[in-house]
Chain A
Amino acid sequence: MRTLEQTTQEVLDLAATHFQLPAGSLAPGDDFFKKLGIDSLQTLEMLSRLENHFGIELPDYEVQGVSDFQTLAERIQSRL
């Protein structure tokens, strides 16, 4: 079972890889819309990658209004 810290780190690594950013360039508190410069449609694509990685399903309502990696990781953690 992953810890929340591990989940958060994996979310950050995966987002960095997906958007071709240097590893370690993202922080848990970052607003991913601003930091990654992505729109809502691209966010949905990122979520699909995260779901495949963690082997879970994130309903749309779980990520409604979420804009930072930390909260996103918490929502993922609650479904692991």
Chain B
Amino acid sequence: MLDLSKYQSIGEALKDALDQFANEVCLIEADREREKERLTYREFKARAHPLTQALQHAGFTAGDCASIIMTNQSKWLISAYAIFFSGGTLVPLDYKLTPEEQWQLLRHSGASVLITEYPIWRQLSTSAARTAATKLQTVLVTEAPPNADLAGARRWEEFRGEGEPLFVPRERRDTACIVYSSGTGGRPKGCMMTHENYLEQCVALTSIYPFWPGVRYLSILPTNHAIDFMVGFFGPFTCGAAVVHLRTLRPEFVREAFPKYKITYVSLVPLVLKNLQKGLQARFDALPPGKRKVFNALVAINKAVTKGRPRPGISRRLLKQVHEAFGGELRTIIVGGAFTEPQTLQFFYDLGIPVANGYGLTEAGTAITVNDLRPFRADTVGKPLPGMEVRILNPAPDGVGEVAVRSKTVMSRYLNEPELTAETIVDGWLMTGDLGRFDATGHLKLSGRKKNMIVTEEGKNIYPEDIETVFESLPVKEFCVFAANYIWPKRSMVGEQLVLVLHLEQGQQLTDPLRQDVNTRNNRLLNYKRIHGIVLMDEDFPRTASLKIKRNALAERVAYRDNATAILPL
């Protein structure tokens, strides 16, 4: 790994990485069963430099902003490299946003360059929201068909300059990226992330989950997402590792990629992890009784030997078939973006596949805490990463308070939002708006968001996310617990209640047995923590590109209903 303490910027570190690891494979791109591309670091450089040169010829220079709106692929990383090499600021945007939202953020960020895919540009360029008020001067479009109307854009593949581009140095405190946090409603929150933020985060993360030449990271989470940007680009590149991109994220091709490319790490969101768990569980359940008995015994042995720490070599021998389905090289599944149910984390750990859960937010520079697996703790989000100071502000008698963070990885500010910045970063401490407490061993346990909560008449604070675990594996499509006041605000601090919002499976009814199941689970909670009603929704919950439930958006949708009739009794 490069010694990142010596570097001033992402661009400088990447530049050296391409030379230092010149002969190592850095990118593999596959579309279905076909491998489209395999690049060494040397070949990556040969692709990136003509693009960089052309960008510089077009007037792109230090401090200018360039946005990328693309699905995960080689061209994403090549384009980002060109931007950083030229001293630019990258604005990675979510390709799943609507054209209206994308135009809003392009305008807000002040990007002068946009690099995108033809299908996305087709939608953007014909959108009524397209506006002349942006600062866009250059639009580069990849993989446009031969006779396509480019609507003022230029072809990425033909945008090439002659000669060597000029490396433009930046300082650690300069802005490297403007990252918009998941929420898309209301005013945009552009987190100004400095080069130092990324350099420090990379050192901290790789000290626990190292990369090295030969490691292969499967990049599924969108690269605009802080997690994938770090562990699917900057982290592996500064260590000489390889990133595998799949152009088709159909489950069958994702499954095939593990053994085909001998994947070492992958990042997933909890929804996908849970889906994986369901699939595996179904296969285990289908084993004939004899084999099932043997399998259970092997899992029990694995649990015993991995009690204190993961023992990948032993687990792979004990549970060979399971590990071979994942390629036999998988060290850790990184999970992030939302709360992961402890039961799911434990399921994989018991199979010898540790899941690195953690806690972070864009403003803090990806991760704040990570489970270091020594020992594995399914019920917490781990300990603070090296270099992270984490405090619990105004803790209640049970130790729960707002989580505040101070670190070199914390963003400098929100773009054009001095007041919001002042509210969010107070005396150098980032107020996360999340609530949690530390246990005796220094592991952080989260209790929910600051606003979506209730205070009972006995003065107890209840957090919906805290009690959601009791409903895990409820046989419904999706569920989410809300403070009813969060959905239907009222000017009162008494009589607050929690409601369970259910999205049933197709054709499923809220039958008596299902209601009974909810009641049984509810009764396991202390009485003041129990939900008081059910709200049925007949549509998919809104989710971000990383499949996180957009709680605000869901609450808004539920709020269209009249609470007097929407809340069904238990």
**Binding between chains A and B:** yes
A residues whose Cβ falls under 8 Å from a Cβ of B: 19, 33-34, 36-41, 44-45, 47-48, 57, 59-62, 64-65
Of all chain B residues, the one with the shortest Cβ separation from A62 is B119
Contacts of B505 in A (CB 8 A): 37
B117:A37 contact, CB within 8 angstroms:
no
Question: Does B249 make an interface contact (CB < 8 A)?
Answer: yes
- Of the candidates A36, A44, A61, the one whose C-beta lies within 8 Å of that of B506 is A36
Q: List CB contacts (< 8 Å) of B494-542 with chain A.
A: 504-507, 538-540
B252:A59 contact, CB within 8 angstroms:
no
A33:B249 contact, CB within 8 angstroms:
no
Question: Does B307 make an interface contact (CB < 8 A)?
Answer: no
Contacts of B507 in A (CB 8 A): 37
- Of the candidates B32, B538, B540, the one whose C-beta lies within 8 Å of that of A39 is B540
Tell me the complex Cα distance, A60–B249, Å: 7
A39:B251 contact, CB within 8 angstroms:
no
A64:B250 contact, CB within 8 angstroms:
no
Identify 13 residue pairs between A and B in the complex whose beta-carbon atoms are under 8 Å apart, listed by A's number: A33-B539, A37-B506, A40-B547, A41-B251, A44-B251, A45-B251, A59-B119, A60-B71, A60-B250, A61-B120, A62-B119, A64-B96, A65-B96
Please classify how large the interface on chain B is, using the bins under 10, 10 to 19, 20 to 34, 35 or more. Answer: 20 to 34
Question: Does B374 make an interface contact (CB < 8 A)?
Answer: no
How far is the CB of A59 from the nearest CB of chain B, in Å?
7
Closest 9 pairs (CB-CB, A-B)? A37-B506, A61-B119, A44-B250, A33-B540, A34-B539, A60-B248, A36-B506, A48-B250, A39-B540
A37:B247 contact, CB within 8 angstroms:
no
Q: List CB contacts (< 8 Å) of B227-278 with chain A.
A: 247-252, 272, 275
A36, A47, A59 — which one has the most chain B CB atoms within 10 A of its CB? A59
- Of the candidates A34, A38, A41, A61, the one whose C-beta lies within 8 Å of that of B71 is A61
A39:B477 contact, CB within 8 angstroms:
yes
Other A-B pairs, 11, CB within 8 Å; known A44-B249, A45-B251: A33-B539, A34-B538, A34-B539, A36-B506, A37-B506, A37-B538, A41-B251, A44-B250, A59-B247, A60-B249, A64-B96
Tell me the complex Cα distance, A15–B83, Å: 44
Contacts of A40 in B (CB 8 A): 540, 547
B539:A57 contact, CB within 8 angstroms:
no
Tell me the complex Cα distance, A60–B539, Å: 22
Contacts of A37 in B (CB 8 A): 477, 504-507, 538
B residues whose Cβ falls under 8 Å from a Cβ of A: 31-32, 71, 95-96, 98, 117, 119-120, 123, 247-252, 272, 275, 477-478, 504-507, 538-540, 547
Contacts of A48 in B (CB 8 A): 250, 252
Tell me the complex Cα distance, A44–B32, Å: 13
How far is the CB of B539 from the nearest CB of chain A, in Å?
5
How far is the CB of B511 from the nearest CB of chain A, in Å?
16
How far is the CB of B45 from the nearest CB of chain A, in Å?
28
How far is the CB of B502 from the nearest CB of chain A, in Å?
12
B95, B504, B538, B540 — which one has the most chain A CB atoms within 10 A of its CB? B540
Tell me the complex Cα distance, A48–B547, Å: 21
Tell me the complex Cα distance, A19–B95, Å: 29
B117, B252, B506 — which one has the most chain A CB atoms within 10 A of its CB? B506
How far is the CB of B431 from the nearest CB of chain A, in Å?
33
Tell me the complex Cα distance, A74–B547, Å: 27
Tell me the complex Cα distance, A26–B30, Å: 35
Contacts of A34 in B (CB 8 A): 538-540
Of all chain A residues, the one with the shortest Cβ separation from B504 is A37
Of all chain A residues, the one with the shortest Cβ separation from B539 is A34
A38:B251 contact, CB within 8 angstroms:
no
How far is the CB of A62 from the nearest CB of chain B, in Å?
7
Of all chain A residues, the one with the shortest Cβ separation from B95 is A64
How far is the CB of B448 from the nearest CB of chain A, in Å?
24
Tell me the complex Cα distance, A60–B32, Å: 11
How far is the CB of B112 from the nearest CB of chain A, in Å?
25
Contacts of B252 in A (CB 8 A): 48
Of all chain A residues, the one with the shortest Cβ separation from B98 is A65
Contacts of B117 in A (CB 8 A): 61
Tell me the complex Cα distance, A59–B504, Å: 30
How far is the CB of B360 from the nearest CB of chain A, in Å?
24
B539:A47 contact, CB within 8 angstroms:
no
Tell me the complex Cα distance, A18–B507, Å: 14
Of all chain B residues, the one with the shortest Cβ separation from A39 is B540
How far is the CB of B143 from the nearest CB of chain A, in Å?
9
How far is the CB of A6 from the nearest CB of chain B, in Å?
25
Contacts of A33 in B (CB 8 A): 539-540
Of all chain B residues, the one with the shortest Cβ separation from A31 is B539
Tell me the complex Cα distance, A44–B120, Å: 19
Tell me the complex Cα distance, A19–B507, Å: 11
